[in-house]
């Protein structure tokens, strides 16, 4: 009699682990403006670290509906996945020890190429893009710059699509294998133009061909029966979904990275 066939263990995806695993709170990230809990999540023999932000721990904001930040974090992940760029760590909406909230795979930032810097003079230098002049004390100023990096440029396009109102330097996490992740997307998808970011270095410049192709894919996914539209409809309002479609269309029509509107502070504070 032949031996029974051994079936290899099923591979658990990160999203499945986050959604279905047992969530255990290990500590609190005190510098976060809303409740952010460092946790582990375990499922079918796999365990990993994650961050859990319960809706109950969200502080009210004057310009965003109460209790919606967790859904916006998940919506940002869905758009990131639709681009194929994988710029946002796996993120799900689930129940937890303190109620429904956002659960996101923890990313340990890895040492890597410098992404932000302060330089003397009025020009950024080779390999850098100017953001703005910043006060550095004793009445002195320096030029704040970011790297002319293809990963950052992709993130700038994503931020323009999701209308990110808070792209700070601390929200940029270099990962393993040269990956770059963006985190903290609770203040996104507003109907009004609220784009605030440190990644203005390409403002007014032509979009790359890659970005144009990705935006075209997003436009299709955001159609009335598109898969991305159906997922986002469960997370943001109909008006916010329509505004997202309009932003994608505006980027494709202009063919350029957006510029500061002048109607809203262009750079978040503090910037890092």
Q: At 1, is the secondary structure helix, strand, or coil?
A: coil
Strands (E) across the chain are located at: 22-28, 37-43, 46-54, 91-94, 101-105, 116-119, 128-137, 140-147, 172-174, 180-182
Q: What is the pLDDT of residue 1?
A: 42
State both tokens at 165: 């109102």
Is 0.85 surpassed by the pTM of this model? yes
Per-residue pLDDT of the chain (272 residues; tens, 9 = 90+): 444 454 445 578 999 999 999 999 999 998 888 999 999 999 998 999 999 999 999 999 999 999 999 999 999 999 999 999 999 999 999 999 999 999 999 998 777 778 998 888 889 989 999 998 887 777 788 899 999 999 999 999 999 999 999 999 989 999 888 899 999 999 999 999 999 999 999 999 999 999 999 999 999 999 999 999 999 999 999 999 999 999 999 999 999 999 998 877 899 877 67
Cα separation, 184 vs 167, in Å, equals 8
> In angstroms, rounded to a whole number, what is the distance separating the alpha carbons of residues 34 and 94?
17
Beta-sheet pairing, 180-182 with 101-105: unpaired
Tokens of 208: 């790359």
Count of other CB atoms within 10 angstroms of residue 230:
12
Q: What one-character DSSP code corresponds to residue 21? A: S
């Amino acid at each position: 009699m032949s031996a029974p066939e051994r079936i290899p263990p099923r591979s658990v995806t990160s999203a499945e682990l986050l959604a279905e695993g047992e969530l255990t709170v290990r500590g609190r990230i005190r510098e976060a403006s809303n409740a952010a809990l460092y946790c582990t999540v375990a499922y079918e023999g796999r365990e990993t670290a994650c961050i859990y932000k319960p809706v109950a721990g969200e502080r009210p904001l004057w310009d965003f509906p109460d209790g919606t930040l967790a859904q916006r974090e998940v919506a940002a992940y869905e758009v990131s996945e639709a681009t194929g760029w994988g710029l946002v760590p796996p993120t799900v909406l689930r129940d937890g020890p303190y109620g429904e909230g956002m659960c996101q795979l923890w990313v340990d930032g890895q040492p890597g190429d410098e992404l932000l810097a302060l330089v003397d003079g009025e020009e950024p230098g080779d390999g850098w893009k100017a953001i703005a002049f910043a006060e550095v004390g004793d009445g002195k100023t320096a030029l704040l710059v970011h790297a002319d990096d293809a990963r950052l440029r992709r993130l700038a396009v994503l931020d323009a699509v999701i209308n990110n109102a808070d792209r700070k330097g601390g929200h940029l996490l270099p990962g393993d294998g040269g990956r770059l992740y963006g985190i903290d997307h609770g203040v996104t998808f507003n109907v009004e133009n609220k784009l605030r970011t440190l990644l203005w270095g390409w403002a007014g410049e032509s979009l790359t061909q890659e970005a144009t192709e990705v935006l075209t894919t997003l436009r299709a996914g955001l159609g009335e029966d598109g898969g991305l539209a159906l997922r986002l409809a469960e997370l943001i309002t109909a008006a916010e979904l329509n505004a997202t479609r309009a932003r994608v269309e505006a980027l494709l029509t202009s063919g350029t990275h957006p510029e500061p509107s002048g109607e809203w502070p262009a750079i978040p504070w503090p910037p890092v």
